[in-house]
């Protein structure tokens, strides 16, 4: 494999992505550099799906070994130990934006490993690990076709900063980690010191502009490699079963999911009752495992659909009820919801 490198300015530093130099036996790999921070991310997947799974077996592991900072473990523990709390949280942060973007029905065991090779003591590697994970998956044969990127946004003295350093974050009123695709945001994690909704929406848009810039780098690499993605075999949904379940259960499920009407524990019980009702619509499911599996799958898909349909509807209702005095804040909430849902609705089928 030839070595390919692309780069662009993100904030005050150059971000570069290099593929084809390290981890050549992995199905996909990417070396991401930002300042003196270097992160190697690899992606591997089984060629065949695991039988009997009703979930996507994705493993994400983020590690920062001592040698990345030029240190050697000493004292009682002289070797690298288990992942720290920070490493576990960063692993989850990588997992959240990429997991929903795999095709529905994809059940192959997939592993993404992010290894910090060099750690700049003032730059957080976590955002660049997300960029590396997306690049490694997107330029591999793994069926991941919607690249994502992530940046951190700070707010210091009224000015937005991209990927601020640790020292800059100490003086920042906002610490916003945002990941997204070209047409929407897929993950937000933030801490703030009394910032308005308008400021938060502006920060999201500011971060999203940089995200689109980084995604273009990934598309450049994809165009050079033209990787052939392997096919995903998806079991077709039984439309007759889906219609029967929706006609019989949708009203009960919408009521069960209304947490303004029911507290959470009661809501969980009502959802379980609705699920049991959906399965009981098909007596033959007791002796037919495939029928039972299909009924549960259709119920879960209906539950997700109701969640997605309710977000913009309730946002619109809140905007109407807020009246003239609250119209500015309601408008901010609506813009934020639309920005997030543009990415959420783009889930591969």
Q: What is 132-197 written as a DSSP string? A: HHHHHHHTSSSS--S--EEEEEEEETTEEEES--HHHHTT-SEEEEEEEETTEEEEEEEEESS--H
Domain boundary among 194, 225, 256: 225
Q: Give the C-alpha separation, 225 to 38, whole Å.
A: 22
Q: What is the pLDDT of residue 64?
A: 87
- List, in sequence order, the alpha helices (H) in the chain: 85-98, 126-138, 166-169, 197-225, 239-256, 264-280, 289-322, 327-344
Q: Which of 54, 39, 134 is nearest to 87 (CA)?
A: 39
Q: Are residues 24 and 131 in the same domain?
A: yes
Q: Are residues 220 and 290 in the same domain?
A: no
* 56, two tokens: 């996507």
Task: Tell whether 197 is covered by a domain.
Answer: no
Domain boundary among 197, 225, 253: 225
Any idea what the CATH number is for the domain that residue 72 is in?
3.30.230.70
Q: Are residues 337 and 296 in the same domain?
A: yes
Q: Are residues 221 and 320 in the same domain?
A: no
Q: Which of 43, 73, 74 is nearest to 58 (CA)?
A: 43
Task: Tell whether 330 is covered by a domain.
Answer: yes
Please check whether residue 7 is in contact with residue 17, taking contact to mean a CB–CB distance below 8 angstroms: yes
Indicate the number of domains in the chain.
Answer: 2
Q: What is the pLDDT of residue 312?
A: 66
Could you give phi then psi for residue 184, rounded to 5 degrees? 175, 170
Burial class (CB in 10 A: 0-12, 13-18, 19+), 227: middle
**H/E run at residue 28:** strand 28-34
Q: What is the pLDDT of residue 306?
A: 87
By residue range, what is the domain housing residue 139? 4-148+207-225
**Long-range CB contact pairs, 290-294, < 8 A, 24+:** 293/54, 294/235, 294/237, 294/238, 294/241
Q: Are residues 211 and 129 in the same domain?
A: yes
Q: Are residues 133 and 217 in the same domain?
A: yes
Task: Tell whether 166 is covered by a domain.
Answer: no
Q: What is the pLDDT of residue 146?
A: 92
Q: Are residues 39 and 136 in the same domain?
A: yes
Task: Tell whether 290 is covered by a domain.
Answer: yes
Task: Tell whether 185 is covered by a domain.
Answer: no
Q: Which of 149, 137, 150 is nearest to 222 (CA)?
A: 137
Q: Are residues 78 and 104 in the same domain?
A: yes
Our CA angle for 27, 147, 7, nearest 5°, is: 85
Task: Tell whether 300 is covered by a domain.
Answer: yes
Question: Rounded to two decimals, what is the model's pTM?
Answer: 0.79
Domain boundary among 169, 190, 225: 225
Task: Tell whether 251 is covered by a domain.
Answer: yes
**Angstrom distances, CA of residue 332 to CA of 193, 286, 318, 323, 325:** 18, 49, 12, 14, 13
* 343, two tokens: 């990415």
Classify residue 284 by its DSSP letter: G
Which residues, 6 or more positions from 62, have their beta carbon under 8 angstroms from its beta carbon? 83, 87, 90, 91, 94, 114, 116, 126, 129
Q: Are residues 9 and 99 in the same domain?
A: yes
Q: Give the C-alpha separation, 297 to 54, whole Å.
A: 9
Q: Are residues 11 and 126 in the same domain?
A: yes
Q: What is the pLDDT of residue 150?
A: 94
Residue found under tokens 């070595």: 3
Q: Are residues 245 and 216 in the same domain?
A: no
Q: Give the C-alpha separation, 319 to 342, whole Å.
A: 19
- Strand 13-19 and strand 28-34: the pairing is antiparallel
Task: Tell whether 126 is covered by a domain.
Answer: yes
- Strand 110-118 and strand 58-63: the pairing is parallel
pLDDT means per 10 residues, the chain with 349 residues, are 87 90 91 92 90 84 81 70 88 94 88 91 90 94 93 92 90 92 91 88 93 94 90 82 90 86 89 90 84 87 84 61 50 52 45
């Amino acid at each position: 494999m030839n070595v390919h490198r692309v780069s662009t300015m993100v904030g005050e530093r150059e971000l570069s992505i290099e593929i084809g130099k390290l981890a050549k036996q992995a199905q996909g790999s990417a070396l991401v550099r930002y300042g003196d921070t270097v992160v190697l991310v690899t992606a591997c997947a089984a060629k065949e799906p695991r039988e009997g799974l009703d979930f996507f077996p994705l493993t994400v592991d983020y590690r920062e070994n001592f040698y990345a900072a030029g240190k050697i473990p000493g004292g009682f523990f002289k070797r690298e130990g288990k992942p720290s709390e920070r490493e576990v949280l960063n692993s989850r942060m990588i997992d959240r934006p990429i997991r929903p973007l795999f095709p529905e029905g994809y059940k192959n065991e997939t592993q993404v490993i992010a290894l910090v090779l060099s750690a700049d003591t003032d730059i957080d590697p976590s955002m660049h690990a997300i960029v590396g994970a997306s690049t490694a998956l997107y330029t591999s044969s793994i069926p991941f076709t919607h690249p994502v990127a992530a940046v951190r946004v700070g707010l210091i003295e009224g000015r937005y900063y991209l990927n601020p350093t640790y020292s800059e974050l100490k003086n920042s009123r906002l610490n916003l980690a945002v990941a997204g695709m070209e047409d929407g945001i897929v993950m937000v994690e933030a801490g703030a010191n009394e910032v308005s909704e308008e400021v938060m929406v502006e920060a999201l848009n500011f971060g999203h502009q940089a995200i689109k810039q980084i995604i273009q780098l990934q598309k450049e690499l994809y165009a050079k490699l033209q990787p052939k993605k392997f096919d995903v075999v998806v079991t077709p949904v039984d439309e007759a079963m889906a219609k029967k379940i929706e006609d019989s259960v949708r009203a009960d499920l919408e009521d069960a999911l209304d947490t303004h009407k029911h507290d959470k524990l009661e809501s969980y019980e009502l959802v379980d009752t609705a699920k049991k009702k959906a399965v009981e619509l098909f007596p033959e499911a007791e002796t037919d495992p495939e029928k039972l599996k299909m009924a549960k799958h259709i119920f879960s898909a209906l539950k997700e659909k109701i969640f997605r349909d309710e977000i913009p509807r309730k946002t619109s209702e809140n905007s109407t009820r807020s009246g003239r005095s609250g119209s500015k804040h309601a408008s901010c909430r609506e813009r934020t919801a639309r920005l997030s849902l543009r990415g959420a609705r783009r889930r591969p089928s």
